[in-house]
Amino acid sequence: MDFDVAVVGGSVAGLQAALTLGRARRRVVLFDDGRARNRAAEHVHNYLGVLNPAPGELLGVGREQVAAYGVAVRESRVTDARAVDGGFVVGGERVRAVVLATGLWDELPEVPGIADGWGRSVVACPHCHGWEVRDQPLVQVGMRGFPERSVARALLLSRWSDEVVLCTDGDELTSEQLQRLAAAGVGVRCERIAEVRGTEVALAGGERLSARRVFVVVRQHQQSNLAERLGCEVVDGAVVTVGGRTNVPMVYAVGTTTEPALLAIGAAGQASTAAVAVHNDLLDSDLRGRG
């Protein structure tokens, strides 16, 4: 085998898995196409020990760290992986184990202007970006057709500001939903949205709402189908794992590939734990081979 482990995906989860395995003296190859989910963001917040770095800065430091432990980095996208005798072929390399850290991509609401501000004036996660705009006017743009999710996100956002307005983009809400929003002090506008320009939301009737930041509801999708290709169980768009292990021996999944709601630091921590499982499984195989 060329390597013990192939890690597919080089954002925080993949880098942490590669770091842990490199420090365990495993031969690791990391594949990354440079399309990290948070690459559009100005800063990574809520990451212990690091003060608001740009995503590229955080991942650049991670690249330097894994290189110090002999991890080989391939700047390419893996589109196929298959099992072979004794292991797998991934990106042209023969490996004993595979760690999938391919992550998610975010489907944005179909509102003109949202994609233009994505990661800067338009964001999704209050836990990631709420503190920086606390106690200021905020607009929560819903995902049309998913009013329950829109209401839930507006209620969550209300913990950071008393000036939150939910724009449903045409979805009508139930009396119970309206009561819950009113109890949380959230305003509601159900008109269609004409456009979002910076932090200003233009409603179809011509009125414009100004905010410090626009939050949006997103739908999440896996960036890669490698898990299915390898025979892994996938439920509701997430790879099913137990302690990082999938149902396919020697195939593992980490980060948002398996838990879409993870914050960046949670993805890194989970990946470290899964990498320990990879090392232990390889060690068991090594010892059986010597027995």
List the CATH number of the domain containing 57: 3.50.50.60
Q: Clarify whether residues 131 and 228 are in a common domain.
A: no
pLDDT (average), residues 171-187: 98
Taking only Cα atoms into account, the Rg of the chain, rounded to an integer number of angstroms, comes to 21
Q: Give the chain's domain count.
A: 2
Q: Is the pLDDT of residue 291 over 80?
A: no
Question: Of 166, 187, 216, which residue is a domain's last?
Answer: 216
Q: Clarify whether residues 101 and 113 are in a common domain.
A: no
Separation between Cα atoms, residue 134 and residue 5, nearest integer Å? 43
Q: Clarify whether residues 7 and 98 are in a common domain.
A: yes
Tokens describing residue 22: 């490199």
Q: Clarify whether residues 87 and 228 are in a common domain.
A: yes
pTM equals: 0.93
Nearest to 217 by CA among 117, 143, 121, 126: 143
The predicted pLDDT at position 75 comes to 95
Residue 262: exposure state from Cβ atoms within 10 A (0-12, 13-18, ≥19): buried
pLDDT (average), residues 235-260: 96
- Print the domain residue range for 35: 3-105+221-290
Residue 206: exposure state from Cβ atoms within 10 A (0-12, 13-18, ≥19): exposed
Q: Clarify whether residues 115 and 212 are in a common domain.
A: yes
Sign of CA dihedral 233, 265, 271, 100: positive
pLDDT per position as a tens digit, 199-213: 999 999 999 999 999
Q: Clarify whether residues 238 and 212 are in a common domain.
A: no
Q: Clarify whether residues 59 and 188 are in a common domain.
A: no
